[in-house]
Amino acid sequence: MRIGLAQLRLENMDKNVRKALDLLRKSKADVVVFPELFNTGYNLENISKSDPKFLIEASKETKAVIIAGIPEKGYNTALVIHRGKILGRHRKTKLFPLLNEHKIFKAGKVVKPIETPFGLFGIMICYELRFPEIARKLVNKGAKILFVIAQFPSERIEHWKVLLRARAIENQVFVVGVNCVNDHCGGYSMVVDPLGNVLKELGDCEAYDEVDINIKYVDEVRKKYPFLNSP
């Protein structure tokens, strides 16, 4: 499975959408991942105009599963889209208190993996990365890869790096973290394997890259190190 990391510099809504559509046309990945609220940012005017139709239409022209964070129906949402259909959505359950996010969005209530042509995907959004119980719930329900989309700040980017690796190590899964870059967000999107090795790490500038992984490696690691089966 080839995963595309779309570490976008968030600008105005039109530019964000154009960049995403152009990237999808060029991508060779099986799964393309965009950051949290990638089309609007936290701009309240943009949030009110957000509509997933552009992604649904774009997905008809690519083989890729698209994972993208957008505002939807009052929630901070990660959509999983393939071939013109929404396969599922994760609505952010932990709203970030330092941004008063609860004044902008409602909190989601459901944590469960989403079925895709490549297996069960566990999705987390930014602040949820700090809650290991969310990752473990997704893994206990069958996810062997976790996708974390974010607007993670530059001043705490070392937390981001450590937490992504920690979630991979403690759950013996692949973890894909895709952050944005702007005046406040620090980038460093990465792919981590089930032993905590960083397979790909982007820097602090806008970038796109693709990484090949073998999901069967999760089973190999768990067989060799059966830590999840400990009583």
Task: Kindly name the residue from 72, 126, 128, 180 that is annotated as catalytic.
Answer: 126
Task: Kindly name the residue from 19, 36, 128, 144 that is annotated as catalytic.
Answer: 36
CA distance 135 to 120: 13
Whether 126 sits among the annotated catalytic residues: the reply is yes
Task: Kindly name the residue from 19, 92, 144, 161 that is annotated as catalytic.
Answer: 92
Question: What burial class does residue 50 get, using C-beta atoms within 10 Å of its C-beta: 0-12 exposed, 13-18 middle, 19+ buried?
Answer: middle
Strand 2-7 relative to strand 31-33, pairing: parallel
82-91 — which CB contacts under 8 Å span 24+ positions?
82/116, 82/117, 83/59, 84/56, 84/57, 84/59, 84/60, 85/56, 85/59, 86/52, 86/56, 87/114, 87/115, 87/116, 88/114, 88/115, 89/114, 90/114, 90/123, 90/124, 90/125
Q: Any idea which residues carry the catalytic annotation?
A: 36, 92, 126
